[in-house]
Amino acid sequence: MKEGIKDTLVFDMKDLRHEDFKAYEVLVPPASLGLNYEEVEFNNALSCAVRLLRQGDDNVYVTAAIETKILVECGRCIIPFEVDISTTLELLFSVSRKSPEESEADERYFDGETLDISEDVRQLLVLEIPAWPLCSETCEGLCPECGAELNISACSCEPTDEAPASPSNPFSVLSKMLEKS
Ligand SMILES: [Zn+2]
Ligand SMILES: [Zn+2]
């Protein structure tokens, strides 16, 4: 049974009875999940294929396959480029709350009527943001002296002995600190 395309990750469980299964296609505007960041742009809708399976009155198994494209800045040349994100979520929602020792990390609770996976999807996507994105493994970055885009053309600065790391690379800062100590 397939519903029309939804635009929210909140599901009404009143229509999903015992042992029922439903598949939803959801196109979520990223701003509705609070995905606003300076260093990464979520400027495409999140395409989510969500499946809900109800077992008994109390348990709902949820799987969601989420795809989108994000715009990130290259860590070397600072030119924005697109990254494909494709990830999946599997959760069990229960009505009755277990004691903390019994419950598992991927278990959630709901009131039996509405099931909301927005926050889980938001957290999952934040984890998918690359920490040190590179437009290409061979990106030459910017010249630390004159700022020339070395992918486009070489500059006439004298090459230095130091590793050609970007000034903001935390590892180059760390190795300088180690040299001093
Ligand atoms: Zn680059
Ligand atoms: Zn230069």
CA of 159 to the centre of ligand 1 (A): 19
CA of 76 to the centre of ligand 1 (A): 5
pLDDT above 90: percentage of residues in the chain = 59
Give the CA distances from residue 106 to residues 23, 60, 74, 120, 151, in Å, rounded to whole numbers and listed in that order: 20, 12, 33, 10, 44
From the CA of 141, which ligand is nearest? 1
Give CA–CA dist 160/114, Å, rounded.
Answer: 61
Ligand 1 ion local residues (Cβ < 5 A): 74, 76-77, 135, 139
Structural domain boundaries of the chain? 2-128, 140-181
From the CA of 74, which ligand is nearest? 1
Summarize pLDDT for 156-166 with one digit per residue, the tens: 998 666 555 55
Task: Of 58-67, 101-110, 165-174, give the lowest mean pLDDT range.
Answer: 165-174
pLDDT above 70: percentage of residues in the chain = 81
CA of 174 to the centre of ligand 2 (A): 24
Q: Which two tokens stand for residue 40?
A: 């990464």
Taking 90 as the threshold, does the pLDDT of residue 16 lie above it?
Answer: no
- Structure pTM? 0.77
